[in-house]
Chain A
Amino acid sequence: DGGITQSPKYLFRKEGQNVTLSCEQNLNHDAMYWYRQDPGQGLRLIYYSQIVNDFQKGDIAEGYSVSREKKESFPLTVTSAQKNPTAFYLCASSGGQGYEKLFFGSGTQLSVL
């Protein structure tokens, strides 16, 4: 079955630590996205990539980094510079069909120890 897989489901970060969230898709989609979800605030765009080896900052990129070395993979690193990392992180991909149907992974809940 085609889909988008995020791991782990739950992740805990210690002070000063960088952590990496995985996102893999087998939908052959060019575009991939990372969103952060906080209660009552909807989804905010962190980074997006429209093609391999290229990515752009979204609205809240500070304290995060990404890479796009393969079409299938778009990992997100939450660095120690992100002072309030506790949130639900969602990865999505899109085939660029014009109406921008996004396929979402099941999310990673990141908490600070």
Chain B
Amino acid sequence: GEDVEQSLFLSVREGDSSVINCTYTDSSSTYLYWYKQEPGAGLQLLTYIFSNMDMKQDQRLTVLLNKKDKHLSLRIADTQTGDSAIYFCAEKERKLIFGQGTELSVKP
């Protein structure tokens, strides 16, 4: 069945780059997404990538997609304490399937 996997925790120092990884199983996914959730709040869409793209850059965010390995990553350059949150990847074929979320902790 459809499945999306992420590691649960990532800790980085302020100013470093963060890389959050995600693997998925559904090869017919049309879009892949990254959502951000701050404590006690809903999710907000950070960025998305169409399945025929390899890379998308948006300011400090870079999304890389390896379709052969079904691997998606989100790189945050110059990570700030305000980037501390849970990051969810999600894939869409018929419906959205979310990963478990990666909690990013940014230490000063």
Contact = CB atoms under 8 A, between A and B. Distances in A.
Q: What DSSP secondary structure best describes chain B's contact surface?
A: strand
A109 B42 CA distance: 11
Interface residues of A, number: 20
Contacts, number: 48
A43 interface: yes
Question: A interface, by DSSP: helix, strand, loop or mixed?
Answer: strand
Given A40-B8, A90-B42, A105-B42, A100 B100 contact: no
A42 B101 contact: yes
Given A41-B100, A43-B98, A104 B42 contact: yes
B41 A102 contact: no
Given A42-B101, A92-B42, 5 more contacts: A40-B8, A40-B100, A42-B100, A48-B95, A107-B41
